[in-house]
Amino acid sequence: MYAIVEIAGHQYKVQQDQRLYVNRLKHEEGAKVSFDQVLLVDDGSKVSVGAPAVPGASVNATVERHLKGDKVLVFKKKRRKGYQKMNGFRPSLTELVIKGITLGGTAKKKAAPKKEELKDEKAEAKSATKRKAAPKKTAADKPAAKKPAAKKAAPKKPAAKKAAPKKPAAKKAAPKKPAAKKAAPKKPAAKKASKDKGEE
């Protein structure tokens, strides 16, 4: 049996009689601690996943001692600048021993009343829809007076169709391109005149 629990802002996979090192806690050495933020529990036959926490589940542990962890080195360097700097620190930790993982039996008991509540909610929803259906009939009578106003707006559509004949006018601009090609044959005529002058 194992569980995933959140302790001091980090998530850990824990089992019974396991030693665990976490960020420093405020509790004194030898104190008993219980963590309620259990995200997942696997008891061998069933996996319970929380949203975000499993209701009624908790992890019990005892605080063994407070200690400092191994040194962590922080090295900074900027190449070709002559800059390098090294710092180090030892993190403050707390050693825990997991005593047990408890599951709440309230989740199964709450599941049965939910079915009855759903039946009551469905019956209320049906009665509410019947009540809402009657006012719809009276509301349908009121918009009938507004329908002629919509018909008056309909004659505006033919005005949009009159704008369509403007498109063929753009096609008339295309025949101007061959006129530019006619100007090109004038260049060879100038060359012939220069050759005649040279022969004379």
Pick 55 or 127 by higher pLDDT.
Answer: 55
Nearest alpha-carbon partner for 75 in 67, 64, 84: 84
First to last CA, the chain: 115
What does the pLDDT look like over 48-78, one tens digit per residue? 998 899 999 999 999 999 999 999 999 999 9
CA distances from residue 170 to 144, 165, 180, 199 in whole angstroms, order as listed: 46, 10, 19, 51
Q: What is the pLDDT of residue 151?
A: 52
Cis peptide preceding 91, ω within 30 of 0: no
For residue 126, pLDDT over 90 is answered with no
Of all residues in the chain, the percent with pLDDT exceeding 90 is: 46
Task: Read off the pLDDT of each residue in 91-106 and give the average, rounded to a whole number.
Answer: 88
Q: What is the pLDDT of residue 124?
A: 73
Query: Token pair of 50, please?
Result: 């929380």
What does the pLDDT look like over 6-35, one tens digit per residue? 999 999 999 999 999 999 999 999 999 999
Q: What is the pLDDT of residue 7?
A: 94
Q: What is the pLDDT of residue 184?
A: 54
For the entire predicted model, the pTM comes to: 0.48
pLDDT band at 166 (very low <50, low <70, confident <90, very high): low
Task: Read off the pLDDT of each residue in 107-113 and give the average, rounded to a whole number.
Answer: 39
Strands (E) located in the chain = 2-7, 10-15, 19-23, 32-35, 38-42, 47-49, 58-68, 72-78, 83-89, 92-102
Distance CA 140, CA 155 (A): 25
Distance CA 139, CA 46 (A): 54
Query: Token pair of 104, please?
Result: 């709440």
Q: Give the residue extent of every domain in the chain.
A: 2-75+89-104, 116-142
Query: Token pair of 15, please?
Result: 């089992």
Of these ranges, 36-40, 107-111, 144-148, 185-189, the one predicted with the greatest mean pLDDT is 36-40
